[in-house]
């Protein structure tokens, strides 16, 4: 019997994809040894960045060609939601299984947001403003 839930498996897949890409880029990756708000620490250009990694397999009900990821989760028994702050993590990396690519986002894209949508195909109306396209953030 598998002790991991489907969501936990997806999270592990995203972590492995991140680690593989970091190795391809020659980026040093460290893994926190105690539970914290980030999944990895990377050394880039002599500095260290705390990175949260998410599996972005959710489909948007509003459009095709995009993935949605929830960023706020209940943090207590009363159900209060908690998102990410720039004081906790320096980057958010999304793994999009639809196109087998990773997307690197800076805090301005995710701080205080409940969810995030990223496009992996062009929208039907060709809109570019206020849309996040994977090719603009691919890692």
Phi, psi of 116 (to 5 degrees): -140, 140
Please report, for the chain, the start and end positions of each structural domain, with discontinuous segments joined by +.
6-136
Domain spanning 6-136, CATH class: alpha beta
Range 22-33 average pLDDT: 96
Neighbours of 45 (CB within 10 A): 5
Band (pLDDT 50/70/90 cuts) for residue 4 is low
Could you report the per-residue pLDDT of 35-66, keeping only the tens digit for each?
A: 999 999 999 999 999 999 999 987 766 678 88
**Residue 106: per-residue pLDDT:** 95
Looking at residues 80-102, what average pLDDT do you find?
91
Pull the structure tokens for residue 37.
Answer: 């708000």
At 99-138, the pLDDT tens digits run 999 999 999 999 988 888 898 888 777 777 777 888 899 9
């Amino acid at each position: 019997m598998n002790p991991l839930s489907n969501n936990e498996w997806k999270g592990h897949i995203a972590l492995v994809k991140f680690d593989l890409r970091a190795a391809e880029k020659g980026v040093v990756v460290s893994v926190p040894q105690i539970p914290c708000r980030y999944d990895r620490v990377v050394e880039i250009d002599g500095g260290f960045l705390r990175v949260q990694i998410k599996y972005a397999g959710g489909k948007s009900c509003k459009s095709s060609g995009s993935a949605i990821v929830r960023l706020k989760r209940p943090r207590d028994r009363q159900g209060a939601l908690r998102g990410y702050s720039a004081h906790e993590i320096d980057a958010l990396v999304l793994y999009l299984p639809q196109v087998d690519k990773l997307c690197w986002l800076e805090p301005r894209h995710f701080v205080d947001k409940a969810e995030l949508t990223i496009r992996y195909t062009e929208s039907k109306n060709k809109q570019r403003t206020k849309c996040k396209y994977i090719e603009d953030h691919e890692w």
